[in-house]
Every structure is written in C-alpha cells, then in structure tokens.
Amino acid sequence: MRFDAPLQLKSGATLADYELVYETYGQLNAARSNAVLVCHALNASHHVAGTHAGVDRSEGWWDNLIGPGKPLDTDHFFVIGVNNLGSCFGSTGPTHPHPDPAKGGQAWGADFPVVTVEDWVDAQARLLDTLGITTLAAVLGGSLGGMQALSWTLRHPARVGECIAVATAPNLSAQNIAFNEVARRAIITDPDFHGGHYRAHGVLPKRGLRVARMIGHITYLSDDSMEEKFGRQMRAAELGYSTQDIEFQIESYLRYQGDKFSEYFDANTYLLITRALDYFDPALAFGGDLSAAFAAARGKRFLVISFTTDWRFAPARSREIVKALVDNRIDVSYAEIAAPHGHDAFLLEDPRYHGVLRATFERIAAELAG
C-alpha cells in the first residue's frame, strides 16, 4: 500500500512517501474490533502465516502459531502482518530506487534514512488508519517484534487492547550491542560494501553478510541446544587437521546458514535493523527509569513471555519490563517458559508457550464476543 503523506522519522529525517506491504488472515468483524497486529523481527516479513502459492511455497514465519484453529485463531481474529520500512522484503527500503531524480533511479543504498522501532510503529498505525481499524484487539511480537509491541503502548496507547511481548527486552545490553557491532563491522569492512552503495558497483557484500549471520545465529541458539544438536560431531570419521576446511558439523551448519542468508538478505537492511535494535530504549527520555517510561501505558493489559535458555534476551530482561508495569499498577501476566532452544524458542511450537498464547487469545475473543 502506497502512502503519500510524509513520515517524520525519529532521526529528524522525513520519508516523503513510501510503500508498506502487508498480509492479512481471517476476517475483520463488523465492529472492526478483532484485529491483531503481528510485528516482525530481524529476518522476517509480512508473510506471517499460511503458505504462499508459487514455486517457493514459502510458509509464514509464525505459521505454527497463526491460522484457523491455531493459538492465534484466524477464525476469530483478523491478523495483520506488515513488513517494516527499511526491509528488503517489499516495503520501501534501501534496495528501492532513490526518489531523487538526480540519482537516476539508483537504489537508496546507504542513503536510506535510519529507522527506529518508533518509526515502524507510526507507519504501522497509518496502515491501520487506511484499513479502517481504530483499535487493535492485540499487538504481538517476539524479539525486535516485541519491542514494537511495547512501543505501540507508548506511542498509541489508546489504540491497543492487549500487548503481547515475547522474548524481548526493554533495550539492548552492552553485550547485545557488541554482537550487532561486530556483525556490522563484518559487513561494512567487506570491500564489496562500497560505503553501502554496492548495487551501484554491481556487487553484494556477501562475505560480510555471511559472517554477520553466523554471529547472529550463535546468539539465537542456547549453548545446550547447540551442544545437543551438534556437540563435537565431526564431519568425517577422522580429523583432517586443517585450519580452513570443515572439521565439525557445527561449522558446516553455520557456514550453510551464512551462505543461505547472504543470498537473499540486503546488507543495508541488516545495518538498519540492528541499529533499530540498538536504539530502542523507551527509558532513555526518562533518565533510564523504565517505570517512568511506562507510566504513559497506564491502563493497558500486557502479557510478557520469556524463555529460560534465551541468553540474547534473558528472562531477567523480561522481568525488568514486568517490574516497570507492576510499578505502574498495570495489569501484566508473565510466563517464563522452561524451553531448551534459546532465543529461537519464540518461533518454535512449545506446548506450554503456545498454551499460554492460546488461553490469552481465547480470553480476548470471549471478551470481544461479549
């Protein structure tokens, strides 16, 4: 969907016009009260559920959660997945042509403005306006998506019923920023990066993207799940004693993940999205006081979910959110799920996790019905 009204960004820049691609699942009810917005994380898109027709038949990234009869039941809810600005999956981003005619149709590249969680939320709100939706039954997201869900309750508190924030944090820790920064350095120092204008040079900084993805991937998995899945399994019966060839299965797996990612993901998008993660910090304007930040969200209802083995956004970070809400006497439920899969658990089908979400959405559906 095309938006022609300029969007003022948190950085001070303005996006004159832009396109947002989105998908919906289920039917909007007559009262327009059953909409659930699903916010995506780093490597995801508007394609949240269902299976696309066509050659790739790609499955939505949260298809195990969302659909008819699933925990977020599209027989009851109108679910919206929207691709964020700066992405490489359809909405306006650095791979799209720069609007300045002087650029001769070249891609935005590194000139695409820095976007923040707040900018995404504002753009999502405009999409809802266009769809005729004033109030969301719920906003839901995991990881960076959870930050957007939290931000909704601060930017547009009157428009959100329930906020469901999964495997997320009130801001990145120094270690989180450090991992992002190493990934960015790998991309930016790739000689094919060309200051972010690699498309104008007819190349892609795939080396950097591969390394970035490998680093990210390590932080998505728990130490234990990596140990259980790969341990010290060797690729061959005997060690080959090589510094450059693959010796262990974990190496093979990581290289594969890196290679695959570098084929489809845009490097500037990677920089933008990791920066959006770095910048998210609702407490900053309140001198670091998260409780003060959430005072504006008063009256909302929250569900916060974390996973015991998630060391990227550990349960302690979710508990900070819960504490800030409790400090404001805001209705919050908190589920800390014992799951072995680390940060990735939020994308997986864990019966306790999905049970909590199913019960929550059943309650919301019952409240909507009457």
Active-site positions read 143, 310, 343
In DSSP terms, which residues pair with 81 in a beta bridge? 23, 38
What is the enclosing helix (H) or strand (E) of 3?
A: strand 2-3
5 is a contact residue toward a second copy (CB under 8 A): no
C-alpha Rg value of the chain to the nearest Å: 21
138 φ, ψ (degrees, to nearest 5): -160, 155
Positive or negative torsion for Cα 116, 120, 126, 128:
negative
Figure out which of the listed residues 242, 351, 369, 370 binds a second copy, where binding follows CB under 8 A. 242
CB 66 within 8 A of CB 22: no
- Cα distances from 275 to residues 59, 109, 176, in angstroms, run 27, 15, 11
User: Which residues from 97-136 bind a second copy, rule CB under 8 A?
Assistant: 110, 113-114
Residues touching a second copy, count (CB under 8 A): 62
Question: Toward a second copy, which CB reaches closer, 72 or 115?
Answer: 115
352 is a contact residue toward a second copy (CB under 8 A): no
Select from 33, 36, 125, 22 the least CA-distant residue to 357: 36
202 is a contact residue toward a second copy (CB under 8 A): no
Figure out which of the listed residues 5, 8, 51, 255 binds a second copy, where binding follows CB under 8 A. 255
CB 121 within 8 A of CB 34: no
Which residue has tokens 């190349």?
Answer: 203
Beta strand pairing call for 72-73 and 78-82: unpaired
Question: Toward a second copy, which CB reaches closer, 162 or 281?
Answer: 281
182 is a contact residue toward a second copy (CB under 8 A): yes
CB 342 within 8 A of CB 311: yes
175 is a contact residue toward a second copy (CB under 8 A): yes
77 is a contact residue toward a second copy (CB under 8 A): no
| Contact map string, positions 265 to 304, toward a second copy, x by CB under 8 A | ---x--xx-xx--xx-x--x--------------------
181 is a contact residue toward a second copy (CB under 8 A): yes
Q: Which residues bind a second copy (CB under 8 A)?
A: 10-13, 110, 113-114, 171-175, 177-179, 181-182, 184-186, 188-191, 195-196, 207, 210-211, 214-215, 218, 221, 223, 226-227, 229-232, 239, 241-244, 247-248, 250-251, 254-255, 258, 268, 271-272, 274-275, 278-279, 281, 284, 311
